[in-house]
Amino acid sequence: MLRQLPAETAHRATLTLARLAAPLLPAPAPDDPRLAMRAFGLDFPNPVGLAAGFDKNAEVPDAMAKFGFGFVECGTVTPRSQAGNPRPRLFRLSEDGAVINRMGFNNAGSAMAAHNLRARRGNGIVGINIGANKDSADRIGDYVRCFFELAALADYVTVNVSSPNTPGLRGLQNRDELTRLLGAVTDARAAAGTSSSEMAHKPILLKIAPDLDLHALDEIADVVRASHIEGLIVSNTTIARPPLKSRHAGEAGGLSGKPLLEPSTRVLGEMHRRLGGAVSLVGVGGIASGADAYAKIRAGASLVQLYTALAYRGPGLVARIKRDLLACLARDGFAKLGDAVGKT
């Protein structure tokens, strides 16, 4: 029924249903201990996470955790609320198992996200993804403000510099700007840590684009090492357009889903080779099966995230991926999932 609605209307309806159903949903069954992962100082019951973009305002992280996710990432959140880009801005490419979005960081702002995170009743791992307002005169200052307002309410913080839908944002991935940005955010963590030992060790992750050349990956790896952040998410949506069948193929925005699996996994492998375990990697892009998730793990990811495939396959996909991962481990002779990370 939801798929008969326009894409953004269906998304809003899904959030409403999840919020209403949350008190009625049972807790998920315990995960097989072979799926447990430790990354950036946190213990995850399983490696399958919900990517940012689904729950921008942190309205339903506890409800989504009940579908079996090992962790949920909310956002992207900006300091001030913003409407995002004009509609329509979300397009299903059903023939391609893909979505194009040009949402533009539509969200209710950091104060609302903080309110919702404080109201949580669950205890699953929740991350917060932060960004800058489109019209900001000080984008780095926006990230710092969001960090101070939200970091204490989440288990980790993701610095998103890779959305293609905020003009100029991806420029923060160049060496000098990224050095300044991560320096400012880690300084904010150090300042917060003077009064809270928990804040002093709050994991910081960086989310990058898949549309980067090898030189850019070299530079990002150097900055990540020097910054002493804990994790890297590879990757955001792509502005590339491989051959697509849908009539929406020409829409502007970021492409996600099946066409992103191969290029995002390739960039993930490149970053694994450059970083060599210096930080934990999270693999995102095109995951629609346990085999897809396993490919990310073999390429170097300790954790994975998905979103687009849920629109086509429903929340039962999470349990299927976990069952498939266990079958992959048995087939390849690994005692636990951590043993398969980076084993290409």
81 is annotated as an active-site residue: no
Catalytic residue chosen out of the listed positions 136, 163, 235, 264: 163
Q: Which two tokens stand for residue 103?
A: 């949402």
pLDDT > 90? residue 75:
yes
Convert the pLDDT of each residue in 302-315 to its tens digit. Answer: 999 999 999 999 99
Report percent pLDDT > 70 for the chain. Answer: 100
For the beta carbon of residue 313, count every other beta carbon within 10 angstroms: 16
Outline where the chain has alpha helix (H): 7-21, 61-65, 110-118, 139-150, 175-193, 197-200, 214-227, 261-275, 290-299, 308-313, 317-332
Q: Which of 235, 243, 304, 303 is nearest to 270 (CA)?
A: 235
Q: Tell me whether strands 204-208 and 156-160 are parallel, antiparallel or unpaired.
A: parallel
pTM, two decimals, is 0.98
> What is the rounded distance in angstroms from the CA atom of residue 103 to the CA atom of residue 184?
27
Distance of CA 230 to the CA centre of its chain: 15
CB 15 within 8 A of CB 59: yes
Residue 1 in this model has a pLDDT that exceeds 90: no
**326 token code pair:** 């266990």
Mean pLDDT of the chain: 97
- Spatial distance between the Cα atoms of 252 and 80, rounded to a whole number of angstroms: 25
pLDDT at 331 over 90: yes
Average pLDDT over residues 265-286: 98
For residue range 25-60, what is the model confidence (pLDDT) as tens digits? 999 999 999 999 999 999 999 999 999 999 999 999
Query: Tell me: the pLDDT tens digits for 85-136?
Result: 999 999 999 999 999 999 999 999 999 999 999 999 999 999 999 999 999 9
Residue-wise pLDDT for 177-222, tens only, equals: 999 999 999 999 999 999 999 999 999 999 999 999 999 999 999 9
Give tens-digit pLDDT for 234-261: 999 999 999 999 999 999 999 999 999 9
Of the candidate CATH numbers 3.50.50.60, 3.20.20.70, 1.20.1250.20, 3.30.1490.20, the domain formed by 2-340 belongs to: 3.20.20.70
Residue 344 has pLDDT above 90, yes or no: no
In this prediction, residue 2 carries a pLDDT of 80
How many residues are given for the chain? Answer: 344
Q: Cα 336–49–95 angle (5° rounding)?
A: 110
